[in-house]
């Protein structure tokens, strides 16, 4: 493979991207700043980027708090995300970029997630993000699960594949998934038809227990999960005078 960029340039750009995203962590369904950054980078490559209900089926969405979404949109606008982009999303985060090689072949998808977890980042001087000045700017929110690195890698991969598109065939789809935490984001993308014609999908996750440069591949059921909603109902009663009329939901 040939590319106009050196390995050092790829690495330096991915590090810078990861550190930028790390500073503004966003929980599931509120990742408007992250979605905008990713969409802008992928569009700069000339890729077609789909947003909102083009990639998310609202009827299949779970665990999305409208109040948190509204607050996140205000936060994104204050941070410089254009209103026109917010309008494009229709209130739903996540993006799918498409690269057409113009030659017949399979549809290959690469999936990466973008949400953070509700953790307060360490302020210890021994903590690299603190020492290097790119720690979370949002107390109580942190990219402690590596999804900032996932997006940086996805953008770097898209750039590499775009530079080598003449040597490839078929269509390549980059799925930047919101709301991975809590297993909420994948199903609405599936139900939107994004994977209907995909021949192969490659999903990855950073593994801090592995040595640098090591990759582990498993064809099925590695880090996979599903989500089921349960509802428990009961009946309140006075524990001293009429306990027999109650029903403990637990």
Q: Looking at the annotation, which residues are catalytic?
A: 115, 180
Q: Is residue 64 within 8 Å of residue 16, measured between CB atoms?
A: no
DSSP for residue 211: P
Can you name the residues that pair with 171 across neighbouring β-strands? 100, 107
Q: Is residue 154 within 8 Å of residue 45, measured between CB atoms?
A: no
Helices (H) and strands (E) in the chain, counts: 7, 5
Nearest Cα residue to 93 out of 117, 72, 75: 72
What is the chain's Cα-based Rg?
Answer: 21
Distance of alpha carbon 187 from alpha carbon 159, whole angstroms: 27
Nearest Cα residue to 53 out of 194, 203, 201, 226: 194
Strands 95-100 and 171-177: antiparallel
Distance of alpha carbon 68 from alpha carbon 89, whole angstroms: 15
Q: Is residue 14 within 8 Å of residue 21, measured between CB atoms?
A: no
Distance of alpha carbon 99 from alpha carbon 199, whole angstroms: 15
Nearest Cα residue to 35 out of 187, 184, 178, 152: 178
């Amino acid at each position: 493979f040939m590319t106009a960029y050196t390995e050092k340039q790829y690495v330096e750009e991915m590090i810078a991207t990861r550190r930028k995203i790390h500073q503004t962590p966003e929980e599931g369904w509120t990742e408007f700043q992250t979605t905008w950054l990713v969409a802008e980078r992928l569009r700069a490559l000339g890729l077609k980027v789909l947003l909102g209900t083009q990639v998310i089926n609202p009827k299949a969405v779970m665990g999305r708090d409208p109040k948190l979404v509204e607050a996140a949109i205000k936060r994104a606008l204050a941070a410089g995300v254009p209103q026109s982009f917010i309008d494009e999303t229709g209130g739903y985060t996540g993006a799918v970029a498409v690269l057409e090689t113009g030659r017949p072949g399979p549809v290959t998808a690469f999936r990466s997630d973008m949400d953070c977890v509700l953790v307060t980042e360490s302020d210890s001087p021994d903590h690299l993000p603190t020492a290097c000045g790119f720690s979370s700017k949002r107390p109580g929110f942190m990219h402690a699960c590596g999804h900032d690195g996932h997006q940086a890698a996805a953008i770097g991969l898209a750039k590499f594949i775009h530079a080598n598109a003449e040597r490839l065939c078929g269509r390549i789809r980059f799925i930047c998934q919101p709301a991975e935490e809590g297993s909420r984001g994948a199903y609405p993308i599936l139900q939107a038809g994004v994977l209907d014609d995909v021949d192969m999908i490659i999903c990855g996750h950073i593994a801090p227990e592995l040595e640098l440069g090591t990759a582990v591949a498993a064809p099925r059921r590695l880090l996979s999960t599903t989500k089921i909603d349960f509802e428990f109902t009961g009946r309140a009663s006075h524990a001293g005078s009429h306990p027999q009329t109650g029903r403990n939901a637990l």
